[in-house]
Structure 1
Amino acid sequence: MNTLRNRLIVSCQAAEGDPFHDPATMARFARAAVDAGAAAIRANGPADIQAIRGAVDVPIIGIQKRVHEDGAVLITGSFDEAAALVAAGASMIALDCTARGQRLGALDRMRRIREELRVPALADIAMISEARDAAAAGADFVLSTLRGYTEETAGVTRFEPDFIAELARGDGVPVIAEGRIETPEQARDALDAGAFAVVVGSAITRPADIARRFVRVMDRRETALVAGIDLGGTNTKFGLVGGRGAIAHEGTEPTPRGGRDVLLDHLKRVGRRCLDLAEAKPLALGVATAGWVNPHTGRVAYATENLPGWTGTDIAGELRAALGVPVAVENDANALAVAEKHFGAARGARDFVCITLGTGVGGGCYVGGRMNSGGHFFANAIGHMPLVPDGLPCSCGQRGCLEMYANAAALVRYAGDPALASAEDVILAANAGALPARRAIATFAQFLARGCAGVVQLLDPELIVFSGGVAQNNPLLLPALEEELSRIVTVWPQRGLNLRISDLGYHGGVLGAAAIALERL
């Protein structure tokens, strides 16, 4: 089976009622896939496998899908089915080894397939624990096929390279990535994560599914309605947003204090209010929250004690169960970057950075047209870049972070005038010509430039967009920032870096939450 290493396996299947549901057509699909370089085929049922075996000479992964007596589809639920697949020409057999499959005898069946049919047995799983069980039972490969299709993993709606990486670090059994892989980039990500091979099906061999994805994306630009919730430390903003960014309904509620359960109840209430405002049920709900978030699962990877108990919270799962709609969750600064890409200053840009300047300093970065989430979902923490050795203590527990020198409190501190008690006061005074306030903005720009310079040198963005209370209505900021950057960034004239202030306004966070929901429909 080493011939499959780092290679593409194409799944050639068509459901009953599909125009392509016949063995001869599946054989033609398989022949086209092999001619294009596929190393193996995955196929369903003896009839299709026999036809495909007559058309190609590569290995065939055989499966038999049947509706079990519990009402759900089961993959290769009996030894006799496996034997019929091998007789038809299958080179190896895959079977459902999820917790449900194991309850229905999958592990004993797998041992019998290997011993009596003498072909490799492949375990289709959805969770790490299931992979361990299958490996212990002798599986030759484990496949992520059923991730997102079991009761326990119903919240998974997108391909998860981090799950593949965790599988690959497991018990030494080769991992084949399968399920929700829709682009060549995702297939590459699977191999980079440690997959032995990659199975792609619907994105290659199901024209109806391919056309449906295009139609859905194009239709939602005109007709989609999603709900967005921006969970802030003081206020929670929410609204209903159309596919082109128009906010149909909007509102604000105070964000309660009290920990995880209080915040979850609050989000559920706000979510229900969004549903009540909609004349038709929104297609999805997006939530932007402080803290780092695993965007694939909607679970908080880490949050500071500004949100007590928020670390580990399954926001997506809790809201999906309570509201009955798909839910997408993202870090608030990342969500703002998504909003800028869809509705704001970054439309058409592929490499850009968004920086929020307010109570804190946040960031979101797109590299090559894709959000940079990092290996552990902690990327884009621009505000916590170390700037001043042994500097001011930061809320993150470190000292000298950029946030302490480029947030609203820092601007007030630089002004040094008790009459200027807020960043807004300083900006208004500077706009009116007050020299201390103008000097404060210049000092602020110097510190901000040092942080931005590191980002520019590392990522070479075409655009940086600034948002938040310190950036709004502050026309002196960008000229001072650009002047400082021109002094400290190498090859500055050749970069042509564009600095912009966001024009998304007060509800930028709501638009960001809505944008992530639109992206993940």
Structure 2
Amino acid sequence: MTRPDGGVPLALAVDIGRTKIAAGLVAADGTLAEHRRTATPTGPEILGTVFELARPLMERAAVCGIGTASTVDPQGRIASATDLLTGWAGTDAKGAAERTLALPTVVLNDCHAAGAAGARAGAARDARTALVVAVGTGIGGAVCVEGRVRTGVSGTAGSIGHLPVLSRQRRRADRRRVRHCVVRRRRLAGPQHRRRLFDHRGPRRAEDRQGAA
């Protein structure tokens, strides 16, 4: 795809993190042409902040890619978000971006976007399979197979710090209903965290407890 003015095609890249939002113009070889950033506001104001950053760049872009610290469904909606992005869950990020920026838009989890970039132009470019692990405010990841990111049925494939788990209250009533276990960097280690994870699996059998001792 070429730019509207016939120039070198550029992509408008947006990174929505838990603490900052960045926007830039990226060439096909991964070169960053221009870069802007600001602090992340509360959920209802996130899209407005993204568009404010993007407007000075959009005229030179042919497409838009948005990576966000959330679970994203196949339609580009925010399926779930952490408590650090209050009010962000349920947002139709793809639809809003295409209407406002008038650019074809893809929305992915930020670590899935990093995995796609790594498979296309990074260290995983020549690898048949790759696992990307990202350590930031939270812990995330992506699984790449033959140059493509596999997001999985729930949209969390590879997201090692953000996985769907059955809640104890709903386990017997409906095994299809899940909630998410989010691992943040400061909670990654220690017995308290391990107990929290084991709690989602229910009481362990006696032989399991002996094996863990």
The normalised TM-score by structure 1 is: 0.31
Instruction: State the partner residue of 1:321.
Output: 99
Taking the TM superposition and a 5 Å limit, the aligned residue runs for 1:328-367 are: 328-367=106-145
Q: Which amino acid aligns with 1:273?
A: P
The number of aligned residues is 173
Instruction: State the partner residue of 1:269.
Output: 52
**Cα deviations by residue, 1:410-458 (Å, 9 ceiling, x for unpaired):** 68x89xxxxxxxxxxxxxxxxxxxxxxxxxxxxxxxx9xxxxxxxxxxx
SS at match of 1:382: coil
User: Which of the pair is proportionally richer in strand?
Assistant: 2
CA positional deviation for 1:274: 2.1
CA positional deviation for 1:241: 0.7
Contact in 2 for aligned 1:223/1:243 (Cα 8 Å):
no
Distance 1:348 1:223, change over 3 A: farther
SS at match of 1:322: helix
Instruction: State the partner residue of 2:65.
Output: 286
**Cα deviations by residue, 1:451-483 (Å, 9 ceiling, x for unpaired):** xxxxxxxxxxxxxxxxxxxxxxxxxxxxxxxxx
Contact in 2 for aligned 1:298/1:316 (Cα 8 Å):
yes
Distance 1:313 1:397, change over 3 A: closer
**1:375 and 2:160 matched:** no
Measure, in 2, the Cα distance between the counterparts of 1:297 and 1:286.
14
Measure, in 1, the Cα distance between the counterparts of 2:187 and 2:154.
30
CA positional deviation for 1:384: 4.1
Q: Which amino acid aligns with 2:87?
A: G
Runs of 5+ consecutive residues of structure 2 not aligned to the other structure: 165-178, 195-213
Distance 1:377 1:385, change over 3 A: closer
Instruction: State the partner residue of 2:23.
Output: 238
Instruction: State the partner residue of 1:51.
Output: none
Runs of 5+ consecutive residues of structure 1 not aligned to the other structure: 1-215, 387-395, 415-446, 448-521
Measure, in 1, the Cα distance between the counterparts of 2:163 and 2:154.
17
User: Which of the pair is proportionally richer in helix?
Assistant: 1
Instruction: State the partner residue of 1:299.
Output: 77
Instruction: State the partner residue of 2:170.
Output: none
Contact in 2 for aligned 1:227/1:286 (Cα 8 Å):
yes
Distance 1:324 1:224, change over 3 A: same
Measure, in 2, the Cα distance between the counterparts of 1:397 and 1:376.
10
**Cα deviations by residue, 1:300-343 (Å, 9 ceiling, x for unpaired):** 12223322222221111111111111111100010110111122
Q: 19, 28, 40: which is aligned to 1:255?
A: 40
Measure, in 2, the Cα distance between the counterparts of 1:297 and 1:331.
12
CA positional deviation for 1:233: 1.3
**Cα deviations by residue, 1:133-152 (Å, 9 ceiling, x for unpaired):** xxxxxxxxxxxxxxxxxxxx
**1:312 and 2:97 matched:** no
Greater Rg by CA = 1
Taking the TM superposition and a 5 Å limit, the aligned residue runs for 1:133-282 are: 223-257=8-42, 259=43, 261-275=44-58, 281-282=60-61
Give aligned-pair identity as a percent: 34
Distance 1:315 1:324, change over 3 A: same
SS at match of 2:117: helix
The normalised TM-score by structure 2 is: 0.71
Contact in 2 for aligned 1:229/1:287 (Cα 8 Å):
yes
Measure, in 1, the Cα distance between the counterparts of 2:86 and 2:163.
23
Q: Which amino acid aligns with 1:245?
A: G
SS at match of 2:108: strand
Contact in 2 for aligned 1:231/1:255 (Cα 8 Å):
yes
CA positional deviation for 1:373: 1.1
**Cα deviations by residue, 1:191-211 (Å, 9 ceiling, x for unpaired):** xxxxxxxxxxxxxxxxxxxxx
Q: Which amino acid aligns with 2:133?
A: I
**Cα deviations by residue, 1:143-164 (Å, 9 ceiling, x for unpaired):** xxxxxxxxxxxxxxxxxxxxxx
Distance 1:366 1:397, change over 3 A: closer
* RCO higher in structure (CA 8 A, sep ≥6): 2
Q: Which amino acid aligns with 2:49?
A: H
CA positional deviation for 1:350: 2.1
Contact in 2 for aligned 1:350/1:370 (Cα 8 Å):
no
Measure, in 2, the Cα distance between the counterparts of 1:317 and 1:339.
23
CA positional deviation for 1:381: 2.3
Measure, in 1, the Cα distance between the counterparts of 2:52 and 2:64.
13
Contact in 1 for aligned 2:25/2:33 (Cα 8 Å):
yes
Measure, in 1, the Cα distance between the counterparts of 2:50 and 2:136.
23
Distance 1:242 1:356, change over 3 A: same
CA positional deviation for 1:349: 1.4
